[in-house]
Amino acid sequence: MAELFGHTRRGADTALEPAGIVLRARGAAVLVPTVTDRIDRNVIDGLLPELKLIANFGAGVDHIDVAYAKSKGITVTNTPSVLTEDTADLAFALILAVPRRLNEGMAAIRTRAWQGWSPLYLLGHRINGKKLGIVGMGRIGQAVARRARGFGMAVHYHQRQRLHASVEAEFGACFHPTLESLLQAVDIVTLHCPHTRETHQMMNAARLSLMKPSAYLINTARGALVDEEALVAALTSGNIAGAGLDVYAHAPELAPGLRDLPGVVLLPHISSATIESRLEMGERVIINIRSFLDGHTPPDKVLAEEA
């Protein structure tokens, strides 16, 4: 960016409050936020009339009021695709780690609680032969399905529209027209859908109660998809066996009690945290900016109805 554009850059690797964004970005034609920067209508109004493009550094845009930006003639772009494989890798790492109780094993080693091998110590569950339920079979969901097939898992999925028969055949995937049907059928549920009004806290107490007592919940998508207090209650009561989370509704704060549950693997939102993905994200941002400033439609333009 320094080579291509006149710019103002904040050196700290932390989020700014909305007022701070307006103060630093006033007069700019392009704003490059990250997923922790809340770009609401107050920020947008504060940067008008100069602001023309919000080039988000990240795939998710639920921190941006896309519809309001569009109403003010502002284009919004993101960086899709580049996070697919890294996010799928981390989701599958959790799919492996939670049933095999890896976090408990690591804690035993670090605290010197392990006294040596014994036949009943830290028994978990194999994933080979288990049913994996994927909620959202987009790019990331399909990348997870591809990995699941390699581990001998049966793939089940739910989303609004059924995949083409050829795609289902590729993964041997079984479609469930309702989320409730999926939750009752599978051993592990992994979330890969956007956060919208319809999906907000989709994993609530009622739906968690439909899962098997031996089932696990994995979330690397958006924290607000899960009612965290209901999840704590389900885990504490033994309604489900465990969970693996990389995202949280009010990060970095967690629901009370969530940190203390042994059957939970908690990660600090690192699904896309690879050097390769960060470089590719930056390249996509620059491509979108250059396309826009050259008078073309950016390749990663976000439509208001997609936000």
Note the pLDDT tens digit of each residue in 54-90. Answer: 999 998 898 999 999 999 999 999 998 899 999 999 9
User: CB neighbours of 138 closer than 8 A, spacing ≥ 6?
Assistant: 159, 192, 193
Q: How does strand 53-55 pair with strand 30-31?
A: parallel
| pLDDT of 204 above 80 | yes
Looking at the domain assignment, is residue 258 inside a domain? yes
Q: Are 66 and 176 contained in the same domain?
A: no
| pLDDT of 307 above 80 | no
How many structural domains is the chain composed of? 2
For residue 28, give the amino acid letter. A
Please state the rounded mean pLDDT for residues 117-129: 97
Over pLDDT 90: what percentage of the chain? 89
Looking at the domain assignment, is residue 204 inside a domain? yes
Contact present, 147 and 153 (Cβ < 8 Å): no
User: By three-state DSSP, how is residue 96 classified?
Assistant: helix
Looking at the domain assignment, is residue 4 inside a domain? no
Beta carbons within 10 angstroms of residue 215's beta carbon: 25
Is the bond preceding residue 252 a cis peptide, omega within 30 degrees? yes
Domain containing residue 296: 18-81+273-306
Q: Are 249 and 107 contained in the same domain?
A: yes
| pLDDT of 11 above 80 | no
Looking up residue 64, the CATH number of its domain turns out to be 3.40.50.720
Q: Are 68 and 22 contained in the same domain?
A: yes
Taking the whole predicted model, whether its pTM rises above 0.95 is answered as no
pLDDT digits (tens, 9 = 90+) for 206-231: 999 999 999 999 999 999 999 999 99
Please state the rounded mean pLDDT for residues 252-259: 96
Looking at the domain assignment, is residue 232 inside a domain? yes
Looking at the domain assignment, is residue 151 inside a domain? yes
Nearest to 239 by CA among 265, 268, 217, 266: 217
Instruction: Round to the nearest angstrom and report the end-to-end CA distance of the chain.
Output: 26
Please tell me the distance from the alpha carbon of residue 139 to that of residue 136, in angstroms, as a whole number: 9
